[in-house]
Amino acid sequence: MGSGTVLHVNAVGLLAALEEALDPALRGRPFVIANRAEPRAVVLDLSREAHREGVRRGMFLPQASRSLAGLIVREPRTELCAWANDKLGRICRAYSPRVEAAGNGHVFADLSGTARLNGPVEDVSQRIREDILSEMGLRPVLALAGSKTVSKVATRAFRPAGFIALSPGEENLVMRHQPVGFLPGVGTVLSRRLDLLGIREIGDLAGLSEADARALGARGPELAVRARGLDALPVDPEPPEQRTERGRFLFEPDAADPEILFPRLEALVSELAYSLRRKGLGTRRLLVELMYADGFRSSASTRSPRVLARDDEVLRLARDVFQKARNRRVRVRRIAVELSELDVAGPELDLFEPEGNRFEFLQFALDRVRTRYGFSAVAPASLLTAVPAVFGSLLDTCTSIAG
C-alpha cells in the first residue's frame, strides 16, 4: 500500500538553526532568539541546549534569563528568515506546482500527479530533503501522508530530522498515541485544559462523541474531526503576502460625526482582524478608503514593520490611517478597509493567550465568544452610543482575495 501524497517539510527551530549556520560558535550552547526592543519580549526560538535547560518558546525573556544564567540572546534576523522560507518554497516548487508556504520553516507540497515526471513520491521527498541540506545547510524533518494535518503531526512526532512516509493504514496508528498538543490548533494552554479532562493523546480527542466534543467549546467538534486525520483542506499555492482581507460599510444616511464614523470603523476592522486570526495570519499593511456623499473618494495607507494580529494593534493603526484619509468635511457615505501583506502571525505559540499577557487573554476570550455566538455577539462599547441611523448593512466582506 502506497503512502499519501501531501508532504510537510518542517525545518525545526528555523531561526536558531540559521543563527548556528551563521555563527558556528553557538553550536552546543544555550541561546534564544528574542526582540529585546519589545517591552514584553518573548522567546521566539531557541537552541536544543536551552530547551534541555527548561527554556520554552513563548516564555518571557526576563523569565528565561533568570532560569538559565549566562543565556545568550540574539535578535531575530527578519530578512534572513524571509529568505530561508522563500528558499524552502522554491526547492519544493521544483518538484510540484502545488506548494504552500506556511511560514517559520513550514512548507506543504502536494505531490499527487508528479510521479510520471519525477518518480515515486517517496524518492521525490528524499531529493527535496537532500536539496535543502546541500543548498541551505538545514536538516529538516519531512512526512508524507494523506492530509496536511496528519503530515504535520508526523513531522512533530519524528523531529528534529528525518523522513517518514505513512500509508493510510499507518496514519491512525501514528496519530492516536501522539500528545494532543501535537495537533494543529491545540497550543500548550488548551493542551493543559484537555489534560485536566483526561484527554492527553490525539486518540483520546478523536474518540469523543459529537456531544462531548461540543462540551470542549466551539472548536471542539472541528478538533475532534482533525484528530481522526480527516482534513479536506487543500495545499494552497497562493502566498499569504498576495492575499488581502477586505470589507466595507455603507452609512444610511451619510454621516460626518466622528462618534458615528469611528465606531463603525472599529467594528469593521475588528471583524477583518478576527477573520485573519482564525487563519493564523496577521497583517503588515492597512488601507482605508472613504467615499463621500458627493461621490468623491480619498484614501490613505500605512505599513507596520511587524505583523499585527490583535484587535488593539490593528485598530490603533486604522485610526491613524482614517485621520489621514479623511481630508474633507463632507459627509461620508462608505468606509472600505483592506488588510494586506499578510503573514503568519508569529511563531507557533499560543497566539491568543501566551501566559501573563493580559491583552492576549482578552483577545482569546473575545474570539471564543464570537466563534460560538457569531461576530456580532461582541461589539465595541462606543458602537452602542452611536445613533440608530448608522446601523446600515455591512457590504461585501471578502476574504482571501488575490492581490
In this prediction, residue 397 carries a pLDDT of: 39
* CATH C-level class of 240-402: alpha beta
1-164 folds as Alpha-Beta Plaits (3.30.70)
Contact in structure between 241 and 276 (CB atoms under 8 Å): no
Mean pLDDT, rounded, of the chain: 84
Residues 60-89, mean pLDDT to the nearest whole number: 91
Residue 279: which residues within 8 A CB-CB, separation 6 or more? 400
In this prediction, residue 346 carries a pLDDT of: 53
Cβ atoms within 10 Å, residue 333: 20
In this prediction, residue 398 carries a pLDDT of: 41
* Ranges of H-type helices in 228-295: 258-278
Rounded CA separation 369/365 (Å): 6
For 270-312, the pLDDT digits (tens) are: 889 888 876 767 899 999 999 999 999 999 999 998 888 888 8
In this prediction, residue 239 carries a pLDDT of: 74
* Ranges of H-type helices in 158-310: 168-176, 188-196, 202-206, 210-214, 220-227, 258-278
For 185-227, the pLDDT digits (tens) are: 776 667 777 888 889 999 999 999 888 888 777 668 888 888 9
Residues 158-169, mean pLDDT to the nearest whole number: 88
* Cα end-to-end span (Å), the chain: 41
The more confidently predicted of residues 324 and 231 is 324
In this prediction, residue 159 carries a pLDDT of: 83
In this prediction, residue 403 carries a pLDDT of: 37
Contact in structure between 334 and 248 (CB atoms under 8 Å): yes
For residue 389, pLDDT over 70 is answered with: no
Scored b (16 or more CB within 10 A) or e, 223-244 reads bbbbbbbebeeebbbebbeebb
Angle of helix 311-325 relative to helix 358-373, nearest 10 degrees, comes to: 90
In this prediction, residue 260 carries a pLDDT of: 92
- Give the type of residue at 353: E
For residue 2, pLDDT over 70 is answered with: no
pLDDT band at 362 (very low <50, low <70, confident <90, very high): low
For residue 46, pLDDT over 90 is answered with: yes
Residues 256-277, mean pLDDT to the nearest whole number: 89
pLDDT band at 237 (very low <50, low <70, confident <90, very high): confident
In this prediction, residue 212 carries a pLDDT of: 86
Give the pairing type, strands 141-145 and 162-165.
parallel
| Cis peptide leading into residue 240 (ω within 30°) | no
| CA geometry: angle 137, 152, 359, nearest 5 deg | 95
For 118-140, the pLDDT digits (tens) are: 999 999 999 999 999 999 989 99
Q: What is the pTM of this model?
A: 0.65
Dihedral over Cα of 104, 110, 116, 120: its sign: positive
The set of cell numbers assigned to 65 is: 534569563
Residues 166-172, mean pLDDT to the nearest whole number: 88
In this prediction, residue 355 carries a pLDDT of: 40
The set of cell numbers assigned to 136 is: 541551505
In this prediction, residue 364 carries a pLDDT of: 60
The set of cell numbers assigned to 288 is: 482605508
Half-sphere exposure of 335 (CA within 13 A, CB side): 31
Rounded CA separation 95/115 (Å): 10
> What are 287's strand-pairing partners?
301, 338
Give me the phi and psi of 309, to 5 degrees please: -130, -35
In this prediction, residue 372 carries a pLDDT of: 65
In this prediction, residue 343 carries a pLDDT of: 80
User: Residue ranges per domain, the chain?
Assistant: 1-164, 177-236, 240-402
Domain 177-236 architecture: Orthogonal Bundle (1.10)
From 103, 84, 122, select the one nearest 111 (Cα to Cα): 122
Q: What is the CA radius of gyration of the chain?
A: 23
Helix (H/G/I), strand (E/B), else coil: 169: helix
